[in-house]
Chain A
Amino acid sequence: MIRLQNVSKTFARGSVEALRDVSLTVAPGEFVAIVGASGCGKSTLLRLVAGLVPVSTGQVSLGGTLVSAPRADTAMVFQAPTLLPWADVLRNVTFPLRLMGQANAETDARARALLETAGLKGFEHRLPKELSGGMQQRVAICRALLQQPRVLLMDEPFGALDALTREEMSLELLRIWAGRNMAVLFVTHSISEAVLLADRVVVMSPRPGRIAEIITPNLPRPRSFEQEGSAEFHSAAQRIRALIYGERLPRAA
């Protein structure tokens, strides 16, 4: 589905190397988490796949076609909910389709159904400022899902939420994902979140951003928080931690 071949990205006229020689293939419907310290190019990687930023060298392709501009079948969820403050929840959710001229008679009904599954029934005509942070982020996720994307790109989507909301939302995301054939690229700072959610965890190392290793947590689905106590969970998390800190400690010394 997603294929990155020897992708490098340099910013600011060659002075900042964000990514170096990254190759990664994501299967249709696969959930891949990307973890790494700040400055390892996680967000840049996501924006390359989204078509928001062009590659410097290498290729990014989706379903066999090269990505050169944003596409209708990829959707993005940012760390901040980025809702339109002037539009109510329903119009926020339908905004991308309306913007792309793809809204039709069923759009509103589908949006309402999505909001209901996200526990936002009755909030369709509220303004974003009337919702809590967690609810706003749910709206942003509904907005992305309404596009029926084949690729969902999430840039630390729960990073701004409190720990409890974060846990609740991550399981909810898994439930939503399970019902769809949708590949997810999920950038996060949280190792446990990555292990709990993903089929594969891509660990990146910084300056320049490279893939250090890809971990495959062998946890059965559906996932739940009980699995956080399992030996498999611990060994995967330990391995990721070693990869991230193991590289940074010698540098700091």
Chain B
Amino acid sequence: MPRSALPALLTLLVLGLGWEAACRFIPIREFVLPAPSAIWAQTYSVWPNVMHHTLATLGTVALGFAASVAISLPLAMLIAASPAISAAIYPLLVVTQAIPKVALAPILVVALGANELPRVIVTFLVAFFPLVVGTVAGLLATPAELIELGRACRASKWQELTRIRLPFAIPFVFGGLKVAAALAVVGAVVAEFVGADAGLGYLIQTSMAFFKTPLAFGAVLILALMGIVLFQLVTLAERLLFPWSSGADQAPPGI
């Protein structure tokens, strides 16, 4: 744990204690605002069940995130490679971002059936866009001089892409991956609200239907943790695989 994380943790602790105290001394009913201790007690009492839902969500997030990476990177390369392709595809991508994914989810569930596929597609649709934009930006931000160096060394177009543009884009790609990891969690939960029989999104809905507010809060906290862990995993992967990219000395405190 880096020392820079200490102030944030202290703030969190103080807020948590304040919340607990407020719930104890002010008569708020539990289904309106449960105390942290109540959240913990109720979540822990059905822990195996919570684990089951967590793993279901994690599966959707992982598949949606993987699909985002697998589709976004080649797509970004196509867009960066040719202005014509870029002109043909980019406006469509912007359209997909203008569509509210929450609205699309029920349609997809009916069209594709109540299985994993529509959930993964919704997750993908929510997560992939920043990855494409980030990667395209990186590929096009390669300094003209590096491109000229490549040309002076008689690099082919393919070499220029793989040996110069792609490595240069790595920090941009990871910027996109971090956003995509956080958004994949959002996408998975949105999909689970609409059509699922497992997952933390499903757990939140069913808990609230029975006024089990503490359990819903527990699920929300686990979702937040999941987002943080995924973000940190991407950061860690960047540091391990591309140490020149991460600029660890410039990272904001706590990240």
Contact with A along B151-174 (1 / 0, CB 8 A): 111110001000110011010000
- Among the listed B145, B154, B244, which residue makes an inter-chain contact with A85, where contact means beta carbons less than 8 Å apart? B244
Residues of the B chain whose Cβ atoms lie less than 8 Å from the Cβ of A129: 244
Which B residues are CB-close (under 8 A) to A176?
A: none
Chain B interface size, as a band, is 20 to 34
Chain A 57-75 per-residue mask, 1 if CB under 8 angstroms from chain B, else 0: 0000000000001111011
Q: How far is the CA of A100 from the CA of B149 in the complex (A)?
A: 12
CA distance A40 to B150 in the complex (A): 26
8 Å CB interface, A46-91 against B: 50-52, 69-72, 74-76, 78, 80, 82, 84-86
Q: Is there contact, CB below 8 Å, between B152 and A70? A: yes
Q: Does B44 contact A (CB under 8 A)?
A: no
Counting contact residues on chain A (CB < 8 A from B), the size range is 20 to 34
> Which has the most chain A C-beta neighbours within 10 Å: B146, B150, B151, B153?
B153
Whose C-beta in chain B lies nearest to the C-beta of A85? B244
Q: In the assembled complex, which residues on chain B have CB atoms less than 8 Å from the CB atom of A127?
A: 244
CB of B168 within 8 A of CB of A82, answer no
A100 to B159 alpha-carbon distance, docked (Å): 10
Chain B interface main SS type: helix
Whether A76 contacts B167 in the complex (CB less than 8 A), given A86-B244, A99-B159, comes out as no
Residues A100 and B244 in contact, CB atoms below 8 Å apart: no
Q: Are B242 and A86 in contact (CB under 8 A)?
A: yes
A76/B170 in contact, CB under 8 A:
no
Q: Is the CB of B155 within 8 A of A52?
A: no
Does chain B have a CB within 8 A of A96? yes
Residues A82 and B145 in contact in the complex (CB < 8 Å), given A52-B151, A99-B159: yes
Does residue B148 face the partner (Cβ distance < 8 Å to A)?
yes
B146: nearest chain-A partner, CB-CB: A82
Known: A82-B143, A85-B168. A52 touches B244 (CB 8 A): no
Does any Cβ of A come within 8 Å of B235's Cβ? no
The CA-CA distance from A71 to B146 in the complex, in Å, is: 17
Whether a CB of chain A sits under 8 angstroms from the CB of B86 is: no
Q: Which residues of B contact A (CB under 8 A)?
A: 143, 145-146, 148-155, 159, 163-164, 167-168, 170, 242, 244-245
